[in-house]
Amino acid sequence: MVAKQSISLDLNNHIDVVENISREDFQKYYMIPQRPVIIKHLYGKDAKVYDWTFDYFSKELGHIDVGVFDDESEERKDDRSYKKAPKTMKFGDYLELIQEKPTTKRLFLFNVFKHKKELHEHFKFPNIADKVLTFLPLAFFGGQGAITRIHRDMDNSCVFLTELAGYKRVVLFDPKYSQKLYQYPFSTHTSIDVNNPDFEKYPALREVKGIDCTIGPGDTIFMPAGWWHHIEYNTAGLGFAIRSLSPHIGDRLLGFWQVGIMTHLDEFLNKFLGEKWFAWKTRNAKKRAEGGL
């Protein structure tokens, strides 16, 4: 008798949830070994940052124009990131939209602090990590149903993603599974669909194990360097992320290669070779993933 094929990925790996964690414990159990963790009220329960709401941003910054991404209405490029939003709208109109109804429209890597510098005073990063890039906090807004497709961050930094309103589903995969996830060469992306994996097309996915969790208001999820992440907005949501450099030199060198050299080389070859370059990357992703099967 032939065993029935699984219809979903194995996402049963555990993630710790902690609160009031000391620097010593965070470094020992999570930063040095590069293990994900959910930290409750990282900035302290009384931090002003937890008072940020949709109404607050609509009142303070509703007049500015923001770049909006919408995967459903755009030509998807599985092997690369969108570097510029294809359309703009008033921030206030966008915030009203995502609260009214489900929508795939989202804002990401939005430097809201550039428009209101005093927001930096609303939080102070706790002394649990070193080389924290507090000068570069980035905000994320999305409506119910919006999805940030699976990828690894190009700069290979560690990420502290804090949810302020709403709920997000976060799916994580250890970078040791990069090849089994059919990562495109010269890219930090893959074509797999976390919610509807095609095991016939991508048989190596059977060997992958991940983490499936939800973060809500006051939660910060620590995503170590190079970890793959897929994010869904279960409700309209807003959050922001602070990055820090990995304590491991290898992670930093990989980030330098990816940002400083790899992405530019990929763009050049894509422009020069077009579909032939993408076809080569697709073949090699499959070959690397299934070479050990």
Q: For residue 62, what are the domain limits?
A: 10-290
Contacts of 287 (CB under 8 A, 6+ apart): none
Segment 218-249, tens digit of pLDDT: 999 999 999 999 999 999 999 999 999 999 99
- pLDDT top residue among 88 and 216: 216
> Quick check: is 216 in a domain?
yes
Residue 291 CA to residue 293 CA, distance in Å, equals: 6
Residue 253 lies in a domain: yes
**Backbone φ and ψ of 160, nearest 5°:** -110, 100
What average pLDDT score do residues 45-61 get?
A: 89
- What CATH code is carried by the domain that includes residue 14? 2.60.120.650
Residue 5 lies in a domain: no
- Half-sphere exposure of 286 toward its Cβ, with a 13 Å CA cutoff? 11
**225 in a structural domain:** yes
Q: What are phi and psi of 241, to 5 degrees?
A: -130, 140
**Is 4 domain-assigned?**
no
Answer yes or no: is 243 within a domain. Answer: yes
- Which residue in 42, 77, 61 sits closest to 191, CA to CA? 77
Give me the number of domains the chain comprises. 1
Work out the pLDDT band at 3, boundaries 50, 70, 90.
Answer: very low
Q: Which residue has the tokens 């941003």?
A: 57
Residue 109 belongs to some domain of the structure: yes
Crossing angle of helices 54-61 and 91-100, rounded to 10°: 160
The pLDDT tens digits of the residues spanning 65-75 come to 988 887 655 55
103 belongs to a structural domain: yes
Q: What is the pTM of this model?
A: 0.91
Q: In terms of DSSP H, where are the helices of 19-90?
A: 23-26, 54-61
Are 266 and 75 contacting, i.e. CB atoms less than 8 angstroms apart?
no
